[in-house]
Amino acid sequence: MSDEQWFYCLNHHTVEPAEGCRAADRLGPYPDKETAARALEIARERTEAADRYDREWDEQEE
């Protein structure tokens, strides 16, 4: 396994190595280019999961 880290640049919509745009403009790090290319999909999945958790939590309170 490589020690490389990959990022998804929100400005350029590209995958880049550690020596890329500033951290505030990137998602990551990811272990490989393929995973970094899915950064927006991964973020969406995580947000949906958190939203489900919040709804379930709210329903328990009722």
- pTM for the whole structure: 0.80
Task: Report pLDDT for 59.
Answer: 87
Both structure tokens of 46: 């995580």
Looking at every residue in the chain, the average pLDDT score rounds to 94
Sequence letter at residue 20: G
Residue 48 in any domain: the answer is yes
Quick one: which H or E segment has residue 27? Answer: strand 26-30
The answer to whether residues 27 and 15 touch, using CB atoms and an 8 Å cutoff, is: no
Residue 13 in any domain: the answer is yes
Residue 1 in any domain: the answer is no
Both structure tokens of 17: 């190595």
Q: Which domain holds residue 55?
A: 6-61
Instruction: Give 35-59 pLDDT, tens digit per residue.
Output: 999 999 999 999 999 999 999 998 8
- State how many domains the chain has: 1
